[in-house]
Amino acid sequence: MSARLEIQNLSHRYRRGEEALSDLSLTVEPGELVALLGPSGCGKTTALKVVAGLLRPTAGDVRVDGVSVVGTPPERRAAAMVFQKSLLFPHMSVEANVGFGLRMRGVSNEDTARRVASALGRVRMDDFAERQPGELSGGQQQRVALARALVTEPGLLLLDEPLSALDANLREEMRALIIELQREGGYTTVFVTHDQEEAVVLADRIALLFDGKLQMYDRPEAFYDRPVSRTAARFFGATNFIEGHAENGAVHTPLGKLRLATPPPPGKVTLTIRPEAVRLEAGENSFTARVASAAYLGTRIHYGLETSDTSLRAALPPHVRLRVGDKVTARLPAESLWVLDP
């Protein structure tokens, strides 16, 4: 049932404008949920529309279970799409909206009724079958849109920022529902979002796009533990970059000689460390710095630390109170230092 999706060297250029998508390649395994993540305008929606068949790529291929679908019209692809706005038919009941695709496919009334009831049950909207979309909240409309997508038992579920118009609480509830439906149904899912937290909560793997190009494709934790580039590191809140030269198992930097859990091969390197991994203590990889700034963020305080030629950010628990101008000893634990790809 669930399909394997292969996106191969996909590029798209709109009639007006720059290339919106450049040479994107990635594979989504059957039953996997992949988040297409990136800032506004990076090409996420373009990629999803090409997969859905709503746009024809300028170059490259889309394969579903090994078969190219680039020439297949959207209605004949085994894909169902849910958009940011639910796009329900306003003058049809919830039940009629959800059953529409099945009736178009010639499924009998009896079968349609049964499948619609089951789909509405799964998104917990069975009590709303008779209502019209205008009589539902935004969150309820998105549930109906999900039911409408699921009722066709799609091999591929394509979700384009389906939660971005909802408020924070509802978004969390809907994320939980999507995870539950995904686990039960095992749908191969591509989920577009610009929200890093949403991608981390939902996805088995994240594809990070910038300027139409794939930056990194990996499991969520890898974006924290081993980002490949400054762009990937920054997007996930790792703002510390230290230039250095690796030699004899250590890296010579403006902060002194730093040791890493896995020493890099000799040569020029850029190190990164997450602000929350910086410690205020003496020991291996420690140095003195001046507190240059402090920003209170509720659960953490972000301090800017400066030496004569380097600045770093440290995120510390709120009970650690430093004042701007204080001299501190900070330490970068070896196991938290990571080398970016050259």
Positions that interact with ligand ATP (CB under 6 A): 14, 16-17, 20, 38, 40-46, 194
Give least dist CB 44 to ligand ATP, A.
Answer: 4
Name which of 40 and 299 has its Cβ closer to ligand ATP: 40
Name which of 194 and 300 has its Cβ closer to ligand ATP: 194
Name which of 17 and 342 has its Cβ closer to ligand ATP: 17
Give least dist CB 16 to ligand ATP, A.
Answer: 5
Name which of 193 and 286 has its Cβ closer to ligand ATP: 193
Give least dist CB 11 to ligand ATP, A.
Answer: 12
Give least dist CB 43 to ligand ATP, A.
Answer: 4
> Torsion-angle region of residue 201: left (phi > 0), alpha (psi -120 to 50) or beta?
alpha
Chain centroid to CA 243: 28
Name which of 14 and 89 has its Cβ closer to ligand ATP: 14
Give least dist CB 13 to ligand ATP, A.
Answer: 9
Name which of 84 and 311 has its Cβ closer to ligand ATP: 84
Give least dist CB 157 to ligand ATP, A.
Answer: 17
Rounded Cα–Cα distance for residues 119 and 97 (Å): 12
Give least dist CB 323 to ligand ATP, A.
Answer: 40
Name which of 48 and 273 has its Cβ closer to ligand ATP: 48
